[in-house]
């Protein structure tokens, strides 16, 4: 009874505001979904919406650092657990029953949030249960088909039909990609015909020129420039820790100065160990400077990373998560632009070989005089 009275009080408070409300709910499988939602949040705010991010840590902290005045509420998501080895698909299949249960939990929590906030629209980033009959429902996804291992290839099209069915439950589906000739997602978007409710937004990057970032102090900029290598850690455990251990093994006795961003925006703990400086998070302005400078970037091959690197025409060393078929496909798709190395090879390579290989790859790319058709304008309708 007390909770119902609290919900009613909140509902009256939010319904009395002048601006229409938009809820945005990113999936908490790494930081990528929240990062690409930053320009969406600014877009909605510019359209006159009062935006409320409904998610959990560490995404709440990340979004608040990028959009300080945003309101937030708790919306827990499904927990994904990866294998220590490369059999991710098998591990994910075993978790399907729990995902189905979470779909129903998402619907119930969404209903509660609609009763509290009375939103006009809900934007869900890869969360298929976050929709409600009383609102306009928008899904953000770049995965209109699921890349499967060779042994499961016969299931690819049936899985695509299931994804299409889930997408059809939304009023609109925003696809963060360019037209086919400049696509960054490739088959993930374009292998099969797009559903009728799908709209291309162009690439989504928090470094979009329309977003005004907080100016950097001179000392902050100088700190970034002193590093030779920047490592961006992301993704679910235990693979994140395995990736981190492999990087530390390579560079622990290196002459290179390494900045390791651990992807923990809710933490304030930094650590210096010889030549490796671990920092939990970088502001968007510092991250932008990192990508603009002549620093070697080492990262997973997640789609948000691919978009951010493309925005700055930046080559990087990409290490796909073992058995994560989407990242393996994206790494293969972008191998002409980036240096691709498997995690297995990463665990058996030295710093000089790794960096030299990347520099040779970058010189090869520059020699090709590649042209790029940038799409830096947010084109959501």
The torsion of the CA quartet 89, 319, 247, 290, rounded to 10 degrees, works out to -130
Q: Are residues 29 and 175 in the same domain?
A: yes
- Check: CB of residue 342 under 8 Å from CB of residue 319: yes
Q: Are residues 83 and 172 in the same domain?
A: yes
Q: Are residues 147 and 240 in the same domain?
A: no
Q: Are residues 42 and 170 in the same domain?
A: yes
- Check: CB of residue 161 under 8 Å from CB of residue 176: no
Residue range 292-310: average pLDDT? Answer: 95
State which residues form the domain around 140. Answer: 19-200
Interval 151-160: pLDDT, tens: 888 888 998 9
Interval 35-70: pLDDT, tens: 999 999 999 999 999 999 999 999 999 999 999 999
Cα–Cα distance measured from residue 282 to residue 179, given in angstroms and rounded to the nearest whole number = 31
Whether residue 208 is contained in a domain is answered as no
- Closest C-alpha among 281, 214, 253 to residue 67: 214
Whether residue 6 is contained in a domain is answered as no
Q: Are residues 124 and 239 in the same domain?
A: no
Q: Are residues 257 and 315 in the same domain?
A: yes
Whether residue 56 is contained in a domain is answered as yes
Q: What is the pLDDT of residue 100?
A: 79
Interval 16-32: pLDDT, tens: 468 999 999 999 988 99
Domain count for the chain, please give it.
2
Q: How confident is the model at residue 278 (pLDDT cuts 50, 70, 90)?
A: very high
Distance of CA 171 to the CA centre of its chain: 23
Q: Are residues 30 and 141 in the same domain?
A: yes
- Convert 200-220 into a string of H (helix), E (strand) and C (coil): ECCCCCCCCCCCCCCCCCHHH
Whether residue 33 is contained in a domain is answered as yes
Cα–Cα distance measured from residue 192 to residue 200, given in angstroms and rounded to the nearest whole number = 15
Report whether the peptide linkage leading into residue 115 is cis, meaning its omega lies within 30 degrees of zero.
no
Q: Are residues 161 and 27 in the same domain?
A: yes
Q: How confident is the model at residue 14 (pLDDT cuts 50, 70, 90)?
A: low
Which of left, alpha, beta for 359 (phi over 0: left; psi -120 to 50: alpha)?
alpha
Q: Are residues 173 and 291 in the same domain?
A: no
Whether residue 322 is contained in a domain is answered as yes
Does pLDDT of 85 surpass 70? no
b (16+ CB within 10 A) / e for 50-86? bbbbbbeebbbbbbbebbeebebbebebbebebbeeb
Give 18's DSSP letter: S
- Closest C-alpha among 170, 150, 126 to residue 26: 126
Q: What is the pLDDT of residue 375?
A: 45
- Closest C-alpha among 345, 328, 324 to residue 82: 324
Interval 326-344: pLDDT, tens: 999 999 999 999 999 999 9
Whether residue 2 is contained in a domain is answered as no
Cα–Cα distance measured from residue 368 to residue 354, given in angstroms and rounded to the nearest whole number = 22
Indicate the residue among 200, 233, 257 that finishes a domain: 200
Q: Are residues 110 and 232 in the same domain?
A: no
Whether residue 14 is contained in a domain is answered as no
Q: Are residues 150 and 288 in the same domain?
A: no
Whether residue 163 is contained in a domain is answered as yes
Of 78 and 76, the structure prediction assigns the larger pLDDT to: 76
Q: Which domain CATH number covers 325?
A: 3.40.50.2000
Q: Are residues 228 and 195 in the same domain?
A: no
């Amino acid at each position: 009874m007390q909770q119902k009275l609290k919900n009613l009080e909140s509902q009256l408070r939010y319904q009395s505001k002048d601006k229409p409300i938009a809820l945005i709910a990113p999936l908490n499988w790494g930081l990528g979904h929240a990062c690409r939602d930053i320009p969406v949040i600014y877009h909605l705010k510019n359209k006159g919406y009062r935006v409320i991010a409904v998610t959990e840590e560490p995404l709440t902290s990340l979004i608040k650092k990028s959009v300080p005045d945003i309101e937030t509420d708790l919306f827990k998501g499904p927990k994904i657990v990866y294998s220590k080895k490369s059999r991710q698909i098998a591990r994910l299949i075993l978790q399907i029953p729990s995902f189905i249960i979470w779909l129903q939990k998402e619907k119930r929590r969404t209903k509660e949030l609609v009763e509290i906030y009375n939103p006009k629209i809900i934007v869900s980033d890869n969360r298929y249960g976050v929709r409600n009959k009383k609102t306009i429902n928008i899904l953000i996804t770049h995965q209109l088909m699921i890349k499967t291992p060779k042994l499961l290839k016969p299931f690819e099209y049936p899985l695509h039909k299931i994804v299409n069915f889930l997408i059809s439950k939304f009023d609109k589906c925003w696809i963060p990609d360019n037209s086919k000739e400049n696509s960054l997602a490739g088959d993930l978007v374009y292998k099969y015909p797009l559903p009728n409710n799908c709209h291309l937004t162009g690439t989504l990057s928090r470094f979009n020129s329309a977003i005004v970032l907080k100016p950097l102090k001179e000392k902050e900029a100088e700190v970034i420039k002193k590093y030779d290598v920047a490592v961006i850690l992301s993704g679910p455990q235990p693979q994140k820790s395995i990736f981190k251990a492999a990087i530390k093994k390579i560079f622990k006795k290196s002459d290179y100065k390494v900045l390791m961003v651990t992807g923990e925006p809710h933490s304030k703990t930094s650590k210096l160990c010889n030549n490796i400086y671990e920092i939990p998070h970088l502001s968007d302005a510092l991250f932008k400077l990192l990508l603009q400078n002549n620093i070697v970037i080492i990262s997973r091959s997640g789609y948000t990373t691919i978009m951010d690197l493309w925005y700055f025409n930046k080559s990087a060393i990409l290490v796909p998560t073992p058995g994560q078929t989407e990242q393996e496909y994206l790494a293969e798709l972008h191998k002409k632009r980036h240096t691709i190395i498997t995690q297995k090879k990463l665990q058996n390579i030295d710093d000089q070989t790794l960096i030299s290989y990347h520099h040779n790859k970058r010189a090869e790319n520059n020699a090709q005089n590649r042209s790029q058709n940038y799409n830096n304008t947010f084109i959501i309708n």
